Amino acid sequence: MASTIRSFHRSSISLARSVPSKAHHHQPIDDALFPHGYRAQGIYAGVKKNKASTVLEGGAKDLALITSTTARTSSAGCFTRNVFKAAPVQVSTQVLRESNGRANTVVVEQRVKGMADAWEMVQAADAALTKPLTGHSTLVMSTGVIGQLLPISQVLDGIRSAATSSVAPSTGPGTPRSNFADWEAAAQAFMTTDTFPKLRARSFDLPVGGTSGNRSTTVRIAGIDKGAGMIHPNMGPPHATLLGLIATDAAISPRSLQSALTFAVSRSFNSISVDGDMSTNDTILALANGAADPAMEEIDEETHPEAYEVFKAELTSFAIDLAKLVVHDGEGATKFVTITVKGAPTYEDAHHVASSVSTSSLVKCALYGEDANWGRILCAVGYAPLSTSTVHGLAAQAMQIDPNLVSVSFIPSDGSLPLALLVNGEPEKVDEERAKQIVSADEVTILIDLGGVGDASATYWTCDLSHEYVTINGDYRT
């Protein structure tokens, strides 16, 4: 009888929690918001497996090429810390280092795996486009099934085709430039199990110096990313699969672009999780070409601290928006979950605790089943790996969580009052019906207060774990 009851319960959940459409996350964007001085292309190169519905349209797009047309482009990147780094990660890291952060082109395709193939892609793009450098100017990114090789000849032909068919935009304000349709095509070429192209663009004012003295100018920023599964990035500067490119027409030095990107990634892409698996390919690249204003000096964090801080804040906010799209499109996800931890001594400690809760399979399953089982949240807080310090030559845990100080609350998405579950280590008398209503929403927020051992906080974005996730990944190669 117990077995029959469990089987019925599982079946009822499956019927109740179907995966909602996520198409509304992709909408047209005003052409005026896309940065000057870039050309973006997305084409079908013959690599991606076609579905019958896409054949008449020339096939699903599987190769993107984005290039800056200005002579003073800065570039930066954050890459996976997985010890098994994919060939494009290794090649792009080397190109960034050898070009001193002056690469101007990015190629994205499906399934490149060998070092020789990755270098051939770099060389093909370098040869087909005008290069500002004597060395390599192209960065590469790849996605797909780990270890499967691609038909490199088709990719190389696709790079040449994209390079020659693209019409270079003007770099000046008020003149033709790349538009939403171009960038949308490139975003479509990023996709694998993604259900919608992930594309955003915006503009902001940046205080700058220049020949006319202190003033501000409007700059634009566009970004593409992809990812739905194998998502738990941990990326750092050069030292899923989630791939991303951010391009701006602001002028910023390579080292300061790298510093700003590293900070932004730590607060955005390194703060999302779908399934807790870190890919071998995770890469976020950034280009900045100064095309917004020819008089704009390159911003540097030491010589232009005010402008740099504004740029860093805007980049971080923009990166968070892009990163959230990945979670919204999580494989099989039915809920978007925000987990905020406060009262920690350092950002890193708060981040570790938030990550622990975000990756708990039991927490994620409870959210899928719309079960307000806050005990699982507390459990994940308790085993979070915290920062360590060295005392007398021995590693010691620098932070201690005091269970008597911890509080946990659900924050309703409708703006009503929070529902306290645990206050200073003591369970509250919870209105289970209201708790059920809160976790039944499409978006759920969990607040964890460690009790004031510090004033640092961190936020993670994650999703639930559904039957559909298992189905997708059980059949991934078939």
**Which pLDDT belongs to residue 477?**
65
pLDDT at 112: 66
Least confident span in 12-26, 418-432, 441-455:
12-26
DSSP SS3 for 108:
strand
pTM, two decimal places: 0.90
Q: How does pLDDT run across 81-91, given as a tens digit for each residue?
A: 888 888 999 99
Kindly report, residue by residue over 111-148, the tens digit of the pLDDT: 666 899 999 999 999 999 977 667 899 999 987 666 66
Per the annotation, does 289 bind a ligand?
no
pLDDT at 213 over 60: no
pLDDT for 388: 64
Instruction: Please check if 478 is assigned to a binding site.
Output: yes
- Per-residue confidence at 47, pLDDT binned at 50, 70, 90? confident
**So what's the pLDDT on residue 471?**
85
CB 81 within 8 A of CB 233: no
pLDDT (mean) for 213-231: 86
Looking at residue 208, its pLDDT comes to 75
The answer to whether 473 is a known ligand-binding residue is yes
- Per-residue model confidence (pLDDT) at position 123: 95
Let me know: does 367 contact 464? Beta carbons within 8 Å: yes
What percent of the chain stands above pLDDT 70? 83
294 vs 9, higher pLDDT: 294
Token pair for 192: 């694998």
Check residue 53 and give its pLDDT: 37
Q: Which of 98-107, 211-220, 344-353 has the lowest mean pLDDT?
A: 211-220
pLDDT at 157: 93
* CA–CA distance, 189 with 33 (Å, rounded to integer): 21
**Has residue 175 got a pLDDT over 50?**
no
388 is in an annotated binding site: no
Q: What single string gives the DSSP state of each residue in 204-266?
A: EEEEE-STT-SEEEEEEEEEEEE-SSS----EES-----EEEEEESS-B-HHHHHHHHHHHHH
Higher pLDDT, 268 or 49: 268
Confidence of residue 24 (pLDDT cuts 50, 70, 90): very high
**Active-site positions?**
241
pLDDT at 391 over 80: no
Q: How confident is the model at residue 340 (pLDDT cuts 50, 70, 90)?
A: very high
226 is in an annotated binding site: yes
What is the rounded average pLDDT of the residues 282-311?
94
pLDDT class of 474 with cuts at 50, 70, 90: confident
Q: Is the pLDDT of residue 418 over 90?
A: yes
Among 269, 308, 270, 263, CA closest to 288: 308
The residue written with tokens 């269970």 in the block is 403
Q: Is 331 annotated as a binding residue?
A: yes
| Confidence (pLDDT) at 3 | 43
